[in-house]
Chain A
Amino acid sequence: METMIEPRIASEPSRMRELEEKLRDLERRLAHVEGHVPEDRVALIVFSGDLDRVLAAFVIATGAAAMGQQVSMFFSFWGLSVLKKENQLSGKTLFQKMMALMSPGSSKGLPVSKMNYFGVGAKMLRSMMKAKNVSSLEEMIALARELGVRMIACEMSRDVMGIKESELVAGLECGGVASFLADSLKSRTSLFI
């Protein structure tokens, strides 16, 4: 049987080459497709510095991490307040000082997006959440770290607002748009909060 097939294939070397070429092309295309399939990954931009929105971001982040997703959180502009441990004024321009004075010095000072009333609303929401045994924002941040959520501080907005690295909590990465997109493009879900 083999002796019958082999001479036939050998007699059609051009057909054989054509098939080999097609196979190589398919392999190339498959590798390309495989390189573009989303990973088990979620990317969040935390742009807002509102307690309620930030809470939503952390519930999604910790939930996704628990579901086995790799989670990246990018903190930009008002979202940087979440990562602050204190406000420092020295070495800042006048506008940066004004901004620092009017921004929360840590996650504990975040306002709510509605009915804040100079912080009374935020305190009220926190106590309502405590009454319902929902974890506090600070507990969720700690939990997110424990679950391996990557936290990246946006370098550009940090620089513009004059927030120094010494004002932020430890253990953060810093990056720009490309570091967000590098994760986001591989993610199944990307959210802007």
Chain B
Amino acid sequence: MSQPFDKLLDARGLNCPMPLVNARREIGKLEPGQVLKVAATDRGSVADFQGWAKVAKGVELVGQETEQAEGANVYVHYLRRTA
């Protein structure tokens, strides 16, 4: 389920709360309607991005998926800036 996106944020190797913090920074640089793809290795990021999208204004979680890269799980999140 690969999605189109406008920007890729590589948050692999980073731990809580950095994937979230960096995603916040990056999504602020996008135009409304554009999609940010975040690749993270932090397993907690799956629930974290769901929580963020629930609470934050102007952000929508479009989709999440898990990929395999070099024998490790990579958690991919697609976030759209809505406003």
Interface residue stretch chosen among B1-9, B30-38, B52-60, B72-80: B52-60
A66 to B51, CA, bound (A): 12
Contact of B17 among A40, A59, A69, A133 (CB under 8 A): A59
Q: State how many angstroms separate the Cβ of B20 from the closest Cβ of chain A.
A: 5
A134 CB within 8 Å of chain B:
yes
Total interface residues on B, using CB and 8 Å? 18
A residues 134-179 near B (Cβ < 8 Å) are 134-135, 143, 147
* Interface size, chain A (Cβ < 8 Å): 15
In the assembly, what is the distance between CA of A62 and CA of B15, in Å? 13
Chain A residues lying within 8 Å of B57, measured Cβ to Cβ, are 40, 68
Q: Dominant SS at the A interface?
A: loop
State whether the Cβ of A132 lies closer than 8 Å to any Cβ in chain B.
yes
| Residue numbers in B under 8 Å from A147 (CB-CB) | 21, 24
Q: Which residues of chain B in 2-30 are interfacial with respect to chain A, using CB atoms and an 8 Å cutoff?
A: 13-18, 20-21, 23-24
Alpha-carbon gap, A69 to B51, bound state (A): 13
Given A63-B20, A143-B21, A147-B21, A134 contacting B56 (CB threshold 8 A): no
**Contacts A67-B56, A134-B16 given; 13 further ones with Cβ under 8 A?**
A59-B17, A66-B17, A66-B20, A67-B24, A67-B52, A68-B24, A68-B55, A68-B57, A68-B59, A132-B15, A133-B15, A135-B18, A147-B24
